[in-house]
Structure 1
Amino acid sequence: MKKLIPLITLLFLFSCNNHAQTNPKQEAVKTAKPIEVPLEDGKAKAYFASGCFWCVEAVYESVKGVDQVINGYSGGHTKNPTYESSNTGTTGHAEAVEVIYDPEVVSFETLVDVYFASQNPAQVNGQGPDRGSQYRSIIFYQNEAQKNIIESKKKALAKKLDITIAAEIYPFQKFWIAEDYHQDYEKLHPDNPYIQNVSIPRLNKFKAKMPEVLKDDH
C-alpha cells in the first residue's frame, strides 16, 4: 500500500467501504444516464479506474494515439473528492484516469484491451498491494456503443480465463482532477520505492503483452 494504516483503522474503513458501495446515493451513480464528453480539437476522452492512478497513468501514456493522461477521481457520490477523502472509502470514488486520445489513431476498443492487459482482472477492490474500494476496477462508458464494447470484452475475457472479472461498468458522470502532486508521478519520481517496485514492473508487464500498441519511444 502507498501508506500504512493501523489495523483498527483498517477494520473501520473496511466497514465504511462496504457501506459506501451499497448506500442509495452510490446506487444512483451506477444507474444514472451516462454523460457523453464531446470531442475537443478532434480528441476524445475515456475514463478508467484500475488501482493506483500513478500506475494507470504510465500505462496509457505509453500507448500510440494517447496525447495526455490526467489523474483524478470518479465513480463516487460526493462532490470535490480529494486524495484524503477518497482514501477513507466513504465517498464511493475510485482513483481514475482521464485518457485524452486521437480516435483516428487508437480506438476506444483498443483502450479497453489495454485496460484488461494491464491489470489482474480477478482482483477485487484493488490492484497489487493497493487495497480498498478507492482502488477498485471500473470502466466508464459514455454511450451504449461503448457499454456494449466493454460488456463484450469482459464476457470474452471471463470465458477465456475461466474467472470472474472484477471490473465494474459505470455510466460516466464526472471526473474530478487530482491534486497537482499526483500528476506525471512516475516521470517526476522515478526513484520512488513504490514506482520502482510496483508501477514500473506493472508497466513492463503490460508492454510485454501488447508491444504493437506502444509509442516508438517506449
Structure 2
Amino acid sequence: MKVIKSLLIVSSAILLISCFGFTDNKINKKKQNTKANFKPNKNTKVAYFASGCFWCVETIFESVSGVEEAVSGYAGGHTKKPTYQTIGTGKTGHSETVAVYYNPKKVSFETLVTVFFGSHNPTTINGQHPDYGTQYRSIAFYEIASEKKIIESAIAKLNKEVYSGKIATEVTKLIKFYKAEAYHQNFERRNPSQGYVKAVSVPRLNRFKKRFPELLKTDEH
C-alpha cells in the first residue's frame, strides 16, 4: 500500500507541472484572446517552430523585437483537424507548434532560428523537460528552400561548436498548420498563477531574456 500511495503522490506531482491535461474548464477564461483580431499586413511573414509546450514557446517569440504575433497550434502530423486531446495520445504525429508572424524588416528568419535553438535543448528526443512525448519533439519547419538552408546551416554550426553532433531537431517542410483551441492562446499571459506557468514557463522565458537581451522588445508588457 505504501508503494501505491507513493506512486500516486509522484504521479500527481508530475501532472501539476506538466503542460498536458488541462482543459478550458480548468483555466482562466476571462479576456480569452483567440487572436482573431490579429491582421497581418502584406509584408508580414510566418515561421513555424516546435520546441516543447507551446505555452512557453509562444511567449518567448512574442518577446522578440520584430515579432508581431505568435499563435499556438499543431503541425507535423498525419491526421486532419488535430485537437489538444488527440495529439496527447502521441498517435497523430503532430507536435505542439507556434506560428510566428514577423516583420522581416525588423527581424530575420535567421534570427528567429537563433531564438528557436537558443530557447530549448535541441538534443532532447521527443520532449522538453518536464514534458515528454512525440507531441513535444523539436521541429524547425520550412516552407521554401532558403529557410531550409538557414536551419541546416544553424544545426551544422551548433553540432560542431556546442552539441557534438547530438542535435535531435527535425527539419520538416510545413504541410499544414492547425490553430489550437482558444484557451491555449496567450495562456501564460492570462494565467500567471497557474502551476505549470510559474514552475516552467516563466523560468524558461527568463532564461531566454537573460541570454538574449539584445533581441527583446523595448515596450514589453
TM over 0.5: same fold? yes
Equivalent of 2:206 in 197, 204, 213: 204
Aligned counterparts of 1:205 and 1:158: Cα–Cα separation in 2: 21
Aligned counterparts of 2:199 and 2:205: Cα–Cα separation in 1: 11
Please say which structure displays the higher CA radius of gyration.
Answer: 2
Query: Equivalent residue for 2:19?
Result: 2
Deviation digits for residues 77-134 of structure 1 (CA, Å, limit 9, x no counterpart): 1000000000000000000000000000000000000000000121110111000000
**Can you give the 5+ residue segments of structure 1 that lack an aligned partner in the other structure?**
5-38
Q: Pairwise mapping of residues 9-158 of structure 1 onto structure 2 (< 5 A)? A: 40-158=41-159
**Is 1:176 aligned to 2:183, yes or no?**
no
Deviation digits for residues 59-82 of structure 1 (CA, Å, limit 9, x no counterpart): 000000001010000000100000
- Runs of 4+ deviating beyond 6 Å: none
Return the offset for 1:166: 1.4
> Greater shift after overlay, 178-187 or 154-163?
154-163
TM-score, structure 2 length as denominator? 0.81
RMSD: 1.2
Return the offset for 1:191: 0.6
Deviation digits for residues 34-78 of structure 1 (CA, Å, limit 9, x no counterpart): xxxxx8421000100000000000100000000101000000010
Identity of aligned residues (%): 52
**Partner SS state of residue 122, structure 2:** coil
The AA in structure 1 aligned to 2:176 is K
Structure 1 residues 194 and 164: CA distance shift in structure 2, 3 A:
same
**Partner SS state of residue 80, structure 1:** coil
Query: Equivalent residue for 1:22?
Result: none
Query: Equivalent residue for 1:189?
Result: 191
Q: How many positions carry a matched residue from both structures?
A: 184
The AA in structure 2 aligned to 1:137 is S
**Partner SS state of residue 210, structure 2:** helix
Query: Equivalent residue for 1:166?
Result: 168
